[in-house]
Amino acid sequence: MKHDSSVAALADSLRADVHRMSPGERLPSSRSLVERHRVSPVTVSRALAVLAAEGLVVTRPGSGAFAAGRRPAAAAAEPADLGWQAVALGDRSVDAAGITWLLTPPPEGVIALSGGYLHPTLQPARPLAAAMARAARRPDAWEMPRLGGMPELRAWFARTVGGAVSPADVVITSGGQQSLTTVLRALLPPDAPLLVESPTYLGVLAVARASGLHPVPVPVDADGVRPDLLAEAFAMTGARALYSQPTFHNPTGTVLSGERRGQVLEVARAAGAFVIEDDFARHLGIASPPPPLIAQDADGRVVHIASLTKATAPSLRVAAVIARGPVAERIRATQLVEEFFPARPLQEALLELVSSPGWPRHLSAVRAALRSRRDALLTAFARDLPELRVNRPDGSLHVWARLPGGVDDTALAEAALRAGVLVSAGRPFFPAEAPAPYLRISYGTAASEPELAEGVRRLSSVLHS
């Protein structure tokens, strides 16, 4: 975040300088700009790239950067009348507000206790850079990959999931969100109901509604989704699929109990339905997670989505969908039609990363850091906000905090942002009405344990005011 703001500030300064220069005049050298503005060479390079993209400078390797020729200012034109599009587009809409909230970096100075990715200091930046460099040097790195994904990467995902899964059951996709889109479109027609845990992941609600599906809530308690209410929901709606996060559920962090895992599969079998298992946080376990549902699935009931983005970095958009039988063919065909295939260099880089000796060391370090941060956050809550009921998750990045009755969680989150701490209101995570006010508070996104404590202190001051 700070790095991006430095690039923008330097670009603004250089933009003003360029406007005073003659076309073809040379800008100061990169070394001079580093010394004058006290920034890194990378910041200078990126600021010049911004100006080059705007057409204000021309960069010549080995010679430097030069002011570009001036273009005559275009005459002011009447804004185009785009009102006709409202009629052509109809009444269907795509609401990305919740996802935008989660993906937009907070302003500088704001403590981030919201977000879905590890803080950059916990990401394997150097191993990833080395893996990408090795992958990019291969002569065939930019050729078309094998349809369905690189065989070695499919085999790695199959071994990781375990059970009766084979590499032939695996298709490599462009990240977990793309996997959700592909699976939902492959399984369900528009206007169909989709059972979801309540609360649930914001992204699946956005994808389902954009695809014309109707999310139907099934409540979650401390042991995961309730099988009795799940059976009722299947009977009442005729739904043919359940979206579930049985391991380190987002946003609550719960793990579906061993007894309920078998019950959920039995309920789905009786309803003739699929279970879409989103296993996004398996590698973020503070405690060892149970085997995935698909490992005990005997009849192709479970469609499993495995993603490594949460345990690595946001832009490593590679995941896997695992399924058996006719549904697997439907998913492969849908993925092929929608995106052809994920970029081969990313597949190669991910394979390099997970095959290296540093991969288990990275996961071990992340688990230790998440345990320490979770405990630090809970200690801060006990000290500054004892009136909140906060769970103690065994994995993932978040705690789920119930607020006192009568508190507006959305208003509280907005006030907290103004006070310098970013948290997520609980209401958007519910597919229908929320039974109580909640906050989702992330311990894996802050820079340090002292920052976690300061974030809770700021949140306490807002709530108590």
**Domains along the chain with CATH numbers:** 2-67 (1.10.10.10), 97-123+360-464 (3.90.1150.10), 137-354 (3.40.640.10)
pTM of structure:
0.84
C-alpha distances (whole Å) from 240 to each of 184, 298, 381 are: 11, 18, 41
Q: How many residues does the chain have?
A: 465
d(CA 4, CA 423): 22
d(CA 44, CA 34): 7
pLDDT averaged over every residue in the chain: 91
* Average confidence (pLDDT) over 92-119: 84
Which tokens hold the place of 215? 């999310």
Which tokens hold the place of 368? 């230790």
Pair 344, 143: CB distance under 8 Å = yes
pLDDT of 358 strictly over 50: yes
pLDDT digits (tens, 9 = 90+) for 201-236: 999 999 999 999 999 999 999 999 999 999 999 999
More confident site: 461 or 64? 461
pLDDT digits (tens, 9 = 90+) for 138-177: 888 888 999 999 999 999 999 998 888 999 999 999 999 9
pLDDT digits (tens, 9 = 90+) for 16-43: 899 888 888 999 998 889 999 988 888 8
d(CA 165, CA 323): 9
Name the DSSP letter for residue 285: B
* Average confidence (pLDDT) over 186-198: 96
pLDDT of 458 strictly over 70: yes
Choose among 315, 289, 261: nearest CA to 396.
289
pLDDT digits (tens, 9 = 90+) for 310-339: 999 999 999 999 999 999 999 999 999 988
Going by pLDDT thresholds of 50, 70 and 90, the confidence category of residue 71 is: low
pLDDT of 9 strictly over 50: yes
Residue 141's pLDDT is 84
Which tokens hold the place of 241? 């699929």
Q: What is the greatest pairwise CA distance in the chain?
A: 76
Let me know if 201 is exposed, middle or buried by CB neighbors in 10 A (0-12, 13-18, 19+).
buried
